[in-house]
Structure 1
């Protein structure tokens, strides 16, 4: 129960804090951009079963792979547009949140990181 609360707090509340820190004046705009990064989860739709509480998303779903993360990082570093920069940061933060969930549920071993 606590794991799910933390997971969704990161996906919905923490990104609000991040948006506010990024731009106090336009934080709502950036919050919406960060919320849009939830669309990354569309790749869950072609998994069988669509939802498996014991499955780790990292390196299983297409947009949750290490290769995808590397692409998001490259775009984050090279793009100058603030909105797109926040979007790619949000994709990486989404993966970070999912990785925490994987570690918490023990469906992903720490040795995978090394």
Structure 2
């Protein structure tokens, strides 16, 4: 996936989800979900193994299956900011998975 498309999806998907599902508080919801993109900072601190596809999933500590499953569980917690953060993290992982050719 081209880098420009990845950036558009990383920024556009949370805003679109906030606008569609959280219309009354869409701006706050979008900001919380956009903050989830900070999970990509693990790329600065950990060197990934060279892969033919440059896939981030399973290449960085916060992009492995255990944290991803915790992000998914966060979407079902009752406190709204944590739920929004979980949605943002799952969206981030889905966009990264698209870059893996899935």
Aligned residue pairs total 100
Shift of 1:47: 2.3
Tell me, what secondary structure is at the counterpart of 1:48?
A: coil
Higher relative contact order (CA 8 A, sep 6+): 2
User: In structure 2, do the counterparts of structure 1 residues 71 and 9 end up closer, same or farther at CA, with 3 Å as the change threshold?
Assistant: same
TM-score, with length taken from structure 2: 0.86
Task: Give the number of the structure whose alpha-carbon radius of gyration is greater.
Answer: 1
Deviation by residue 1:22-77 (Cα, 9 ceiling, x = unmatched): 2212111011001100110121112237xx9x521101101100111111112222
Q: Which of 70, 76, 88 pairs up with 2:86?
A: 88
C-alpha root-mean-square deviation of aligned residues, in Å?
A: 2.1
**Counterpart position of 1:63:** 62
Match of 1:106 in 2: none
The aligned residue for residue 17 of structure 2 is 18
Equivalence for 1:9: 8
Q: Which of structure 1's runs of 4+ aligned residues deviate more than 4 A?
A: none
Contact preservation (8 Å) 2:74, 2:85: no
TM-score (norm 1): 0.78
